[in-house]
Chains A and B, each alone.
Chain A
Amino acid sequence: MKLPIRVLLTAVVASATLVACSGKKTKPDQTTGGDTTSTTTSGANNGGKYTPGDLDTDSCLRQRVVYFDFDRSEIRPEFQAAVACHASYLRQFPGARVTLEGNADERGTREYNTALGERRGNAVSSAVGAAGASSSQLNVVSYGEERPVCKEHGEGCWQKNRRVEIVYTSKQ
């Protein structure tokens, strides 16, 4: 029975190696909501480089959070690439929809922070739209300081809350 086992082992090792080398099988950092099985193929595909599965595997598309400086809504240079790839994906899949959830850190009043969160969501929406997505694909919702990811009172936590989350409500 040595031969079948050796073949089996080889197959297992080989496939494990392939998995390890592909480097794309880790789960995304943020849950995106919506279904994770993309077996339906509704909506036209413009024939670009992406597949819906890339939302979970492509290193750029997996970036779903844009962070901001205190009291600011400008998109920092390090997030331009993410803006570009999501715009690219949205342009390729006209049926895809995102909600841009704007947030603020806890400092200042809740109502003002609700408006600040929207400003940030709008900034990302404008940038993604300018890069090719259609405005009908973009929805902005602000949660102000009401949805913090952490609650410590310091910059280490505050910077994590000053963010826009890119949430796909429809992948194609």
Chain B
Amino acid sequence: MVRLHPRPFAIAVFGASVYACATVASSFALGRVTDRVILPRFDQGHVDGGTVAAAIALVIGVGLVKAAGIITRRIAATITGARVGGTLRSMVVERYQLVPYEYHQRNPTGELLSHAGNDVDAATEVLAPLPFASGVMVILVVSFGWMLLTDPYFAAIAVVLFPTLVALNVVYQRRVERPAEEAQEQLGVVSAVAHESFDGALVVKALGAERLESERFRAASEKLLRAKVRVATTRATFDAVLDALPTIGIAVLLPVGAWRVESGAVTVGDVVAFVSLFTILVWPLRLIGYVLGELPRAVVGMDRIQEVLAEPIDPRHELTVSREAGSATSGRAALLDVQGLGFGYEPGRDVLDGVTFSVAPGRTVAVVGPTGSGKSTLLLLVAGLIGPQRGGVRVDGRDLSSFTVDDLRATVAMAFQEAFLFGDSLAENILLGDDDPELLATVADLAGVSGFARRLPQGFATLVGERGATLSGGQRQRVALARALARSPRLLLLDDATSAVDPTTEARILRSLRSHLTATTTLVVASRPSTIALADEVIFLDEGRVVDQGTHDELLARQPGYAHLVRAYELDRADRAGEVSVT
């Protein structure tokens, strides 16, 4: 992690070292004050004014150096933490954009968000106190050296005490690791529940299920509560021991010091200096406990981030240059050729199997089939969003897997049934960063956006809210359609993309599409007879297989299943007409 931003980290460690040396020096200064000022004044009755001034200067000087070290360390450490956190977050989000779409289908949104949020926080929180911990190491080394120079018996106490403290910290780390990990995981669960519950707020309210949701959240929070208390209990135990040990060290140091003073080996000032040092050690060592306590959390967070970063990126991003020239075909409708396409989300349960068909350039083809027949998956495959497990998709004779991201963008555009809008303006949502008012006007007219956009307070500059929440379902779909058209795609894929638009408006939109999109091949998943009737040809899909392909009339004539599906409305109406006449 530190390797990401080594400079501020190095500065922080430098500041911590300055602070460390000054800390040891401050104990030394207290010893001098005792020997040169206090003892002469109170035991011998006299002290020289100059000596007092010099001692005071030493104490204040050391204090100021210490303060400078602290400021340097803290500012640099904060910057390190902020930068590393920012970099890690960017890397995670960037990876999310580059991994294949299947990764997003596989992993819950809440978890993905938690990697970019909580996990990054956990991983970087340890960075701020880390330079301080290195400063503590310096304190330990310098003070040990000083003791050794002053008196070997003092050094002996340190030899017992310091390693014990370090060993205790290691045990601490091990003991707190598991509960900390559990708490972190449970926090992710709590986030996921809250996220899902607020997303589904309408259903929760409509069914009066607030209490049920409340209980679910309560159960998750309670587990978190228990995990946290377990962590806190372990910490409290170790912190108490770590606090008490240096103090007990002093209780040993004093009799030893008394004996060494008697034998004339050390001064009273030396004893005072070391008592002060042991006192000062209490706080840095507690910090070391804190750092080590945070470390497991940081390691867990970092592991999760590494997992995301190790996720293989979509091979399409590795294709830097088109293997085959694509420019020759631009501006012309695409020829679509699907061969033996097979796909399943779970092994043994194929969604599509042996799907084969082709669409001539400029044609509009409807994909029709009952619910769950694999229509949406077929479109995802043709859009290159997911990769086929068997067979392939060719556009103008070229396999889709050899298309770079740019090739794909220049060729295919897809509008989904559930229109996803960004929390941007209407214009941004349609043009996605381009600035072309003329194009905007054209596609907005075609997709039936212009009408309602004019009535919005700021027209096309109106912000649509998160996920387009301020628009109705039908309006969102039309915006998404305009977005697809703005790409002037050679292959347009519409996955029931006008299902929430009322039929009259839908028919008008689809008719104008047909007459305007001369350089576009269109594949449209449709369920309304009116939509189907507008297509040149129909592919009838059932249980993941192409049952038949032909014109609407041909299929009506030779596929009873198709006729039943498509004419369900009319049959229904005819039945009712019959019922009415009977009664």
- Decide whether A and B assemble into one complex: no
